[in-house]
Structure 1
Amino acid sequence: MTRKLGLILVLFGFMLLALTACSAEDVEFLQAMAEEWATAKNINPQNSDGSINVGGLFNAGLSAAGLPGGDDDAKAIIAAKGVVDSIQAADKAAEDAQKALKAGNPQQAINLLNPALEDRPSDWWLLNQRGVANLEAGNGDLGNRDLQSAYGNAKRGQAAEHQRQLLFDSIARQRAGGALARCSVYTAMANAYSDLLNSGGGDADFYRSQIAANRQAASQPGVTCR
């Protein structure tokens, strides 16, 4: 494989992430590919922890691949770096949003996630996070819209499992001070378990019991939910 072709294949993988939502595993796989290629070609701009700086790799790759500045492949490399920057910015927004939620500031979490979703509107991972933040903030319609959009942009059951984890944490946060969790959160949890049941994997009886339990909790405002 030529130096130029190897780089373009790695970058093509990153470009695909611009067209579809991705999981952390997707990003880690492509970053590992980039690191392997860079090490083999002795192009290894590093972060402080010794890992390959992928953004720096793209800058170095322009020279290493011998691509002229106006070359279409060079433009593709520059565009791919923009995709990596977008992913890294989204990761940072999601991390900061989780900190805001833990501090009891769901609206701040929403504000942090909004710019990331403007840049990556089909990212189901971000949609799930903003959806749960909206539910926690009392924006039921907006939250449900985000969660439903996430279903449409992920593999069957993938978004639901992520939602289940986020919603479980949300309920725990809301109940930590002795308060009731919002009814819309229990409804969303029931929907997540329903999608997991329909995906055909896991323990069907457990999913059914959780659907029933969460629907019951959502139906009793002032008793089990608010």
Structure 2
Amino acid sequence: MAPEPHEEMLKQLLSPSTHPLFSLPVSPCKPIIDSSRISDLSLHPVLESLLHILNLDLPSAHFLLRHMQAAPAYEAMYLHGILHRIEGDLDNTRAWYRDVQDSDVFRAVWSGEGSGFGGGDEDVTRDQQAHSSIADDATTDKDSENAAPGTNSMKVPIERALSFIDQLARARAPIRSGHIAPASLIHTSLDELSRVWQFCKEKFGTEPVVEASNVWVSMAEKNADIAEKMITGGEGWREF
């Protein structure tokens, strides 16, 4: 049976050779594949957003996510944090991660309990197995020295995630000045993204969603005004 189009895209986009930890200093990045190929799939907006993020088309991802940045759209809120992580806005990432730390998707990704999804895309699963576990990668030697013996295995998901963000913060300046990104951080980033994909694929499915307006989630007026000022880029591909 021929693979679905999104599976071929994932194989290309979830590759260490094409995955940068940060989009800057070249921003906006040139997408890896034509973004219209992603939008033409008419996937659930959460899945489409994630593919745009992987494709480094952050404006198109942001256009979708700003329509879904309040409860109960926790998956989209989490992706909003990941988008800002790749932008390099790590303080914003920490805020979004804390907002969704008790959600099913965040706990599934950062619990450290295997893949936790009962299957999924073969390419994604193989990619995960080639990496260290997300729980292990999110702790550096320095973290281990400063932590009490045995505490790493007891870390709650938000602590694991923020430990990873702290490592990215330390690596951000060297990477932007031209140093090669540590492989362990790239692997953890890809592991997080592949786990989010599997969770959202199982929840939303991959059937076309032609009318996406019912996915829109309103927010408080104050937060909406703030969000409007944070929009990057143009209006993306999907109409709401």
Say which structure is richer in helix.
1
TM-score normalised by length of structure 1: 0.33
Q: Considering Cα pairs closer than 8 Å and 6+ residues apart, tell me whether 1 or 2 has the greater RCO.
A: 2
TM-score normalised by length of structure 2: 0.31
Q: Which has the larger radius of gyration?
A: 1
